[in-house]
Each structure stands twice: as C-alpha cells, then as structure tokens.
Structure 1
Amino acid sequence: MITETLSFPGIESRHSMTRVFLKWGALAVLVAAALYLILALYAQREFVFAMLFLVLTASAVAVFVSKKLYAHRYIFPAIAGMGLFVIFPLMYTVGIGFTNYSASNLLSYEQVQDNLLSRTYQSEAIRYDYQLYRTAEGYVFWLEGEYQNLTSAPVKLNEGERSAPVLPVSGKPQGEPLSIREIIQLRGELSELTLITEDGRELSQASLRSFAAIHPQFTLHGNGSLTNNQTGVTYFPDHETGFYRDGDGKALSPGWTVNIGWDNYLKVVTDPSIRGPFFEIFVWTLSFAVATVVFTLALGLLLANLLQWEQIRGKAFYRTMLILPYAVPAFISILVFKGLFNQNFGEINLVLEGLFGLRPDWFSDPALARTMILIVNTWLGYPYMMLLCMGLLQAIPRDLYEASAMDGAGPVNNLFNITLPLIIKPLMPLLIASFAFNFNNFVLIALLTGGAPDIIGASTPAGTTDLLVSYTYRIAFQDSGQNFGLAAAIATAIFLVVGALSLINLKLSKIKV
C-alpha cells in the first residue's frame, strides 16, 4: 500500500502567521502592562523602583526577541529573580546606609513642602458659637459672634452637602435648636462642612458648639523658606540635615531624606554610645555562632557514634526520639524552653532549688542569659548535625577501625585520627552554612530573650543577648527614632563580616569557590 502525504502550504502559512501574531500580541500586552507599572511608580516618585522595572522589562524584551540571546531565555527568569529579590534589596540597603532615612525623614523635599503648606489652623479671633435648627428645607445654622450674628441657608447634611453661605441677620430662626446629643450624632457631617461668609472667609467646626475661620498655617517664599502665619516664625530649608529650621536651629517636622555620606558608618566606630554596644554585640554574635557550631557538632557526632555501636538494641527507637527536636517547629521549642527557664515558676528553677537551693536569674543576668541561649540552640541544632554525621560515618571503611584496634588504639584515638579527618572536609561547607545561619539567628533571640538584659549607657536599643541582626531590627523598628539609615549601615556591615568570614573558612578548608 502506498500512502501519500498531502501538504497544504496555505494552511501551514496561516498557522505560522497565527502563532507569530499570538507571540507578538502577548509580548505587546506584557510590555504595555510593565510600562504602565513603571509610569505609575514614576508618578508616585518611586524613581528607584521605576528604574528597576524598566531595566528588567528592557532586559526581558532583549532576551526574548533577539535570536542571538536565544539560549539565555531559559536562565533569564532565575537571573531576574536573583536581581529582584537578592541583588536589588542588597544594593537598596547599602544605599539607605548613606542617608538619614528614619521615621522623621521619610519623605522627599517636595512632599515635605506640600505637607506643610496643606496645614491649616483655626482663628481664635474669628469664632462663632452656633445653634443648629432642623427645618423642612434642611438644617439652618445660627452663628452668634462678638460683633455680629450670622445665619446660613438651609443645608442638606444627610444628602452630602458640604458648604453653605452665611449672612448677617438680627433674629434667630423659629423653633427649638438641636440638643447636644443630636449634634453629636451629626458630628461626621459637621466636621466636613464649610460655612462661607460674605467676604469669602471659610468657617469650619472648631468644637461641638463653635465654628472658627480657617487660615493656612504656612506661607511659602521665593527662597524656599516658610513663615508660620500663627507664630510669625520663619523656617529655612537645611539640605544637610533634611529639616526646615528657624533662626535658633529648631527643626520643623517632618523632615526629608538627604545623602549624609559615611556618617552612619562612622557613627558606629566614633560614637562611644554606639561603638561600645556594637562591638560588645559583635563579639557575642561571633562567639555565639562559633560556639553553636562546635556544641551541635560535638553532641551530634557523639550521638551518631553511639547509634553506630553494634551492642545497642532498639536503634530505630533511639534514632527516632533523638530526631524529634528537628521535627518540632523551632518557635514552639523556643517558647517551651522560655517557660521552662522562667525564673519564678519554671520547672528548671524548681528542680535546681529543690536539689541545690539555687534559683538562677536566667533572664536578668547577662552570663546566665547567654548560657541559656546556647543550651536552647544546641538542643535545636544537634539533630541536624547528628543526621549528617550518621551518613558520613557509614561511608568510612570499617577496616580502618579494625586496623586501629589491632594497634591498640581506643575510641578517643579513633575519633581524632580516623573519624574527624575523614568527615571534616565534607562537613565544612555545612558547618560554614550553620555558622552563617546562627550569625543571623533572629528568631531565637526575638522569642527567647528579646535581647534583654539591656546594655546600660547605650544610645540605641541594645541588649547583652542581642545578635547583630536583632540589634539592627531594634534600631530600625523599636527605637523612638526608627533610624533606618543607621540600621542599614549595620546590616551592610553584617553582610560584609559574614561574607568575609565564610570566604576565609572556605579558603582555609581548601574548597574551591
């Protein structure tokens, strides 16, 4: 049987044209959406984010359109994700470290100026007590002033009317005025109402029983200075500190973000109230990370060796029980230990007091608090090390131990002459990762001690059990000033320190990077 394959060039051409149309149409829609997002960010003065998405969009178009970059299409999403979620936040943090960005310096200069010019105040000299009457046409205001009385045209407050003219009159409207309780029920509508006099003055509600004239708080001058119309004080923009200041140097809030160079970084090493706590916390952080790695490795290796002992029965049961701390969520274990170490009602102090008459101050004594943290973190970390060591120990040839036993070597000699030399090299990358993780172990400190007890004399919120990461968090979010610039500078220092120490460890362990 002869089978003939029929081809239809016209149909294939139409299908090809359809695919091309769909491809370019989808690309056009995505680019249009991206450009809309970029323009929206630019309109909101988020120039950094607008530039970021512009670069990502341009890169995506270049990669997916150019035939020369065809091979890069498959790796581009990973590179874009790395740039968006790793490189950009790192660069943005470094950039913030060179500014005075804080709770009082969040806005741009233009936004600060607009904020101040939008402020108003109510005149005490032009104030009217009022009574409110309900009529068939709407609500009528009777304003009683020192020199004249005014009445308003009927206002339909319930229908959303927000302004009404008022004219001089001699007599009150007919009927009974509304009670204070009824006025309170209308306070939302009254607070948004503006009464306009014959000469164009605007009156707004100053209290439940009075209306007063509204005036702009500040007047802008050609040189950028602002005059407070209420006090007569003139403020001048100080672009070095990011505040409007008067002649005596008094600052006007809010301020704006300005570049202050290396001030935040220099403050860490020159300001005694910051330098002392910073280096104390740095030494503790380094000691904590190293001690945690050593303790968890020692305990994990010990337990792994015990589980390899042939005379032990029920290894599966013991292995399951010893891995359980790794299966329980860390925050639950930390909160349980926080209760166990409670100085007044914790089970640990109850046992110590019953046996030895001791009641340690785990949370108020710096040395005991650090000891408690190391105990808890060793408990949380040893199962991971035990699992690693169990796998590595099984890869060591048993002949080595048999030959060592024939030479009269004991368990300690085997540990230092056979076991450690053979497992330390494959373990080194994981130990470095454990060191980096514990260097930034924020959850443990935040849930267990919160950084307490505090360091006396520190100008920033700093505790003796704080790690650099929790210290940075407290500066950024718990201090009254919320100094994001200083926190970003410290975060940059943490990144450099952890990166340098990890690189040194990798070089010392002769692992190629």
Structure 2
Amino acid sequence: MQPKQSATRSPAPSSGSPGQGGATGPTHRFRESWPLMVGLAVVDAFALFLASAVIINGNSLAAIVILVITALLNWVFLSDRLYPIRWLSPGLVLMAMLVLYPLVSTVYVALTNYSDGHLLSKDQVIAQLVGQFYQPKDAASYKLTVYRNAAGDFLLLLDDQQGHVFTGTQKDGLRPYTLAGPPPAAIGDYQKLETAQTFQYLTALSKIEISGNGRQVRVTGPDAAQELLPKYTYNQQSDTLTDGQTGVVYKPVTGNFTAPDGSQLSPGFTAVVGFGNFAKVFTDPNVTGPFIGVFLWTVVFAAGTVFFAFTVGLGLALVFNDQKLPFKSLFRSICILPYTIPGFISVLIWVGLLNPYYGPLSLAIKSIAGVAPDWFSNGTLIKIAILLINTWLGFPYMMLLCLGALQAIPSDMYEAADLDGASPWAKFRYLTLPLLLVSVGPLLIGAFAFNFNNFTVIDLVNEGGPPIPGANTPAGQSDILISYTYRLAFAGGKGADFGLASTIAIFIFAIIALITIFNFRFTKQLEEVMS
C-alpha cells in the first residue's frame, strides 16, 4: 500500500527572477535558442533559393509548396505548443519529399500527354513557332558586306541594289544607312572583312538574326543575305496561330496546334488529358495486348520465383535439419554462397552459362539432345531461364528462413506424432508445413511483392526480350510491369511516353498496396493462430 501523497505543492520558482539558479530570462533563452535560429535561417535561405529557381523554370505551384512547408517548419520550431511535433517534423518532411511528392507527381503526369513531342509548355511552343520565318516570293535579296569589331561582334552592311542600304546588328536591328560609293573600310569601330576572311566566320554569321520592319534578314552566303517573314503569328485573344504563308489557322487541341483538316504543328505541348491514358490501357489494342501479356507474366514470374525458391530452400532445410547428417555446417556454407555473391554478377554468369554458342550448360544440353536451346530468342525458353536464375538467387534466403523456423518447432510434437503412428509425409503435411507457414508466410508474401518489381534480373538477362511480334509499344516477351514501364518512359526506341508509363506505375502501386493489405491481414490471422 503506497503512502498517501500530500495535496499541497511547493510553489514553482519564478522564471524571471534574477539571482535564482533556475533563471530563464531573455539572455538565457537566447543562449539556448540561437543554434535553432541559425539552423532555421539556413533552411529558410535554402528554401527561398530553391523556390526562386523553381519559379524561374516556370513551376509556381512547386515553389508555393516549398514555401508552405518551410513556413510550417518555422511555426513548429518557434512555437512551444508544437514542441512534440519537432521530433516528427524531419521524418514528415522527408516523407513529403520522398513519398508524397513522387506519388502526386506520378498521378499528375498520368493525367497528361507528357511524352516525346509534348515535352514543352504551351508558352514555350508558341515562342518556338513564332520564332520561325519563311522566305516570301517577293523577298528582297541583299549584297552583303561584313564588318567585325575587336569584341568579335558583327555588323552587316546590306544593299538591295535598288538604292536602299541598311546596317544591321543583332542588338540594334536594321537601320537605314547612307552609302556614297563603295563600302567604307570601317563603320564606327567595326572593320571591314574581305570576302575571303568572311568564310572563316560563315558558321557564326549564319546564326545571326536581324529583325526590322516586321521582317528578318539572315546571312545565306559570304556576300549575300535574304529577307524573311514570320511563319506564324499568335493571336492571344482567340488563342490561335496563323500560318503567314498559307493562311491556315491552328487551334490548340489536346496538346497540339491543329488545323481544320486535322494536320498538327510540331512540337506539341504538355496538356491535361484526364483519364485518357487509363482508358488507353484497356481500350487501345496496341497497348491492351502487350499490357495483359506483361501483367500475366509478371504474376507468374513473381509467384513462380517464390514457389520454386521456397520449395528448393525448404527441401534443403529439411535435409540440413537432420541431426544425423554429417558435415552439415560445410553443406550449409556451400548452399549460402549464391546469397553472398552480388546478384548482378550471378545473373551475368548465368547469362554466360546459357549462351547457345559457347555456354557450358547449353553445350551440355546440345551434346545430349543434339541442339542447343535458343534461350534468348524464344519467348518460352527465356521465361524458363529467368525462373531458373531467380530460383538460384532466392533459394539460399528461403533455406535460411526455413532452417530457423524448423529449429523453432518443439521436438516433443514430433515425438507425439511418432507415438500416434504418423508417417513422415503426414508429419510434414499436418505438422511441419502449417507451423512453418506461421513463421515464413508473411515473408513469402513480401518476397512476392519484391519480385513483382524485380527489374534487375529481367533487364540483365535479356533486357525484356525477345520483342512481342507486332507490338507497337516497346514490350518484350520477358518484360514484367516495372521493366515495361521503364521502356515506355526511357528506352522505347519509338519515343518516350511518360504519361502512359506513369499510368502503369499507378497500376503497379495499386497492386502492391493490395498485396501489402493482404499481408497485414494474413499476419494478423497468423498472430491469432499463434495465440
């Protein structure tokens, strides 16, 4: 029985009284908080720099998010009421940067047509198209004389042979010039270049654009220049581009300036297309066919890898768990060796072993069957090879798990089974396997989720090949969803489609999320069995 506590409390010492040992006056508080202030100042300065850089690149929304997160951090660290959240804030910020931002960005890209040909913003495309010029039939041709100053800048003296003479620089544009007689040796600080000297600067001169009077003059030769007109004119009110050469009016339609006859200007721009990419996965035959095949093989690959690796690992664990087996430690060490070698090295070694021309394994099969399997050109054989390689990589891990789980099963349970006259198969079926799955079941589900995204093996063995015949998307017969997504986004050969790749990435995320939820529920059921 504990003594009854007194209801009276001694008064707390005044925090502001000088001379007391526990004084926390302004000076004391400053001494404690100045490292925090310096740290916040550094974070704020970096955030302002990052936000300004993002704004310059035209992403105002990202800049706003950065500033809001920075403001929340300042609030958390400067408010005493939010003191407990300070310990969580670094993790929350990292979660926002490394989890939430990629997730939101992926969803946004999946709702757009972001791909090759649609990488620029609308304003960038307009600026690029408006910057194009064409040569009209009545365009003036100029006799050119080139001048150059000590700084390396050029001045062009342009004579249309009809009494109109101009000087032109990129900075000042076209200006009328009075010429009496032949071109002078110097104009201001610009010195005249002879025609032979002009040749060495011809590449730089061809890039010079001099504008004036709604036209543009460009150098076409060492002593000639041509007048050009703007190819496209943008009308901000109607949001249209007009072709000055043909008179065709182009309107923006889902990321492209499109003419009434359906022709489009290139490049296009990034635009939100809603759920168009999601619909394409299910309705476009060019995407649906490869996607379904890749998805089914992904499930077979992940499930087959777990099944075969677990089967081999469990078989070896049962053998090594036998107390009568001699040299158990040596055999266990040998079987763990594949687990100690980096996976990418083991995969490349297996690729060499399976080479149909000089691979030892293929040559051994050829000596027996008379023909070497064409592992890398046949869609069925490459899948068998991948399952074989991944089983080799995964069985040591499964063996270790099963060894630990087997040794945790009480031996008296087997003794009771022997007394009941149970056969070895009955003991395994009704005793060993159920108790084993209680321990390793969640890990098997985790291994399935891991192999669902096992990009390394697929890419190193055959880069997802061989190609699916007739497929218009970069899909291979041994591709799984993650490698298919990678090829859509970066290595297609037919143009990267980031929007479609992000859509498939969302499907992968949803599948893995469902597997994780099932794993949690399965684990909970196992805990109930254990209890």
Match 2:340 to one of 309, 327, 350: 327
The letter of the residue matching 2:242 is: T
Q: Secondary structure at the match of 2:218?
A: strand
Does the 8 A contact of 1:122 with 1:206 survive in 2?
no
Which residue pairs with 1:460 in the alignment? 473
- CA offsets per residue over residues 412-436 of structure 1, 9 Å max, x none? 3333232211121221221111111
Q: Percent identity?
A: 38
| Cα deviation, residue 323, structure 1 | 1.5
| Cα deviation, residue 362, structure 1 | 0.9
| Cα deviation, residue 294, structure 1 | 0.7
Does the 8 A contact of 2:215 with 2:229 survive in 1?
no
Which residue pairs with 1:438 in the alignment? 451
Q: Secondary structure at the match of 1:280?
A: helix
Which residue pairs with 1:3 in the alignment? none
Match 1:501 to one of 492, 506, 515: 515
Of the structure 1 ranges 26-35 and 273-282, higher mean CA displacement relative to structure 2 is found in 26-35
Q: 1:296 and 2:331 equivalent?
A: no
Distance of aligned partners of 1:183 and 1:429 in 2 relative to their CA distance in 1, 3 Å threshold: farther
- Alpha-carbon distance between aligned partners in 1 of 2:133 and 2:466, rounded to the nearest angstrom: 45
Which residue pairs with 2:248 in the alignment? 233
Which residue pairs with 2:118 in the alignment? 105
| Cα deviation, residue 203, structure 1 | 3.2
Distance of aligned partners of 1:483 and 1:384 in 2 relative to their CA distance in 1, 3 Å threshold: same
Q: Secondary structure at the match of 1:186?
A: helix
| Cα deviation, residue 468, structure 1 | 1.0
Q: 1:491 and 2:505 equivalent?
A: yes
| Cα deviation, residue 472, structure 1 | 1.4
- CA offsets per residue over residues 328-382 of structure 1, 9 Å max, x none? 2211221222222222332222111112212112112111111011001111111
Does the 8 A contact of 2:166 with 2:174 survive in 1?
no
Q: Secondary structure at the match of 2:357?
A: coil
Match runs of 1:156-305 below 5 Å: 168=179, 171=182, 177-179=194-196, 183=198, 185-187=200-202, 189-193=204-208, 203-207=217-221, 210-221=224-235, 222-238=237-253, 241-305=254-318
Q: Secondary structure at the match of 1:236?
A: strand
Which residue pairs with 1:307 in the alignment? 320
- Alpha-carbon distance between aligned partners in 1 of 2:271 and 2:155, rounded to the nearest angstrom: 51
Does the 8 A contact of 2:145 with 2:193 survive in 1?
no
Match runs of 1:398-477 below 5 Å: 398-477=411-490
- CA offsets per residue over residues 159-204 of structure 1, 9 Å max, x none? x99989776565477899454xx5554345434546689x896533
Does the 8 A contact of 2:383 with 2:478 survive in 1?
yes
Does the 8 A contact of 1:164 with 1:194 survive in 2?
no
* TM-score normalized by the length of structure 1: 0.85
- Alpha-carbon distance between aligned partners in 2 of 1:9 and 1:427, rounded to the nearest angstrom: 56
* TM-score normalized by the length of structure 2: 0.82
Does the 8 A contact of 2:145 with 2:183 survive in 1?
no
Does the 8 A contact of 2:377 with 2:466 survive in 1?
yes
| Cα deviation, residue 286, structure 1 | 0.8
**RMSD of aligned alpha carbons:** 3.5
- Alpha-carbon distance between aligned partners in 2 of 1:34 and 1:253, rounded to the nearest angstrom: 37
- CA offsets per residue over residues 47-99 of structure 1, 9 Å max, x none? 34224323422332232223232112112211221122112211221222222
- CA offsets per residue over residues 88-128 of structure 1, 9 Å max, x none? 21122122222222222223323322232233446683344
- Alpha-carbon distance between aligned partners in 2 of 1:103 and 1:195, rounded to the nearest angstrom: 32
- Alpha-carbon distance between aligned partners in 1 of 2:127 and 2:210, rounded to the nearest angstrom: 25
- CA offsets per residue over residues 369-405 of structure 1, 9 Å max, x none? 1101100111111111112112222212223334434
Q: 1:30 and 2:43 equivalent?
A: yes
| Cα deviation, residue 145, structure 1 | 5.8
Distance of aligned partners of 1:202 and 1:500 in 2 relative to their CA distance in 1, 3 Å threshold: closer
Distance of aligned partners of 1:305 and 1:207 in 2 relative to their CA distance in 1, 3 Å threshold: farther
Question: When the two structures are aligned, how many residues end up with a matched partner?
Answer: 498
- Alpha-carbon distance between aligned partners in 2 of 1:343 and 1:121, rounded to the nearest angstrom: 57
5+ residue gaps, structure 1 = 1-5
Q: Secondary structure at the match of 2:509?
A: helix
- Alpha-carbon distance between aligned partners in 2 of 1:52 and 1:359, rounded to the nearest angstrom: 59
Does the 8 A contact of 1:123 with 1:212 survive in 2?
no
Q: Secondary structure at the match of 2:80?
A: coil
Q: Secondary structure at the match of 1:213?
A: strand
The letter of the residue matching 1:374 is: L
Does the 8 A contact of 1:105 with 1:255 survive in 2?
yes
Distance of aligned partners of 1:223 and 1:141 in 2 relative to their CA distance in 1, 3 Å threshold: closer
Of the structure 1 ranges 382-391 and 118-127, higher mean CA displacement relative to structure 2 is found in 118-127
5+ residue gaps, structure 2 = 1-18, 186-191
Q: Secondary structure at the match of 1:99?
A: coil
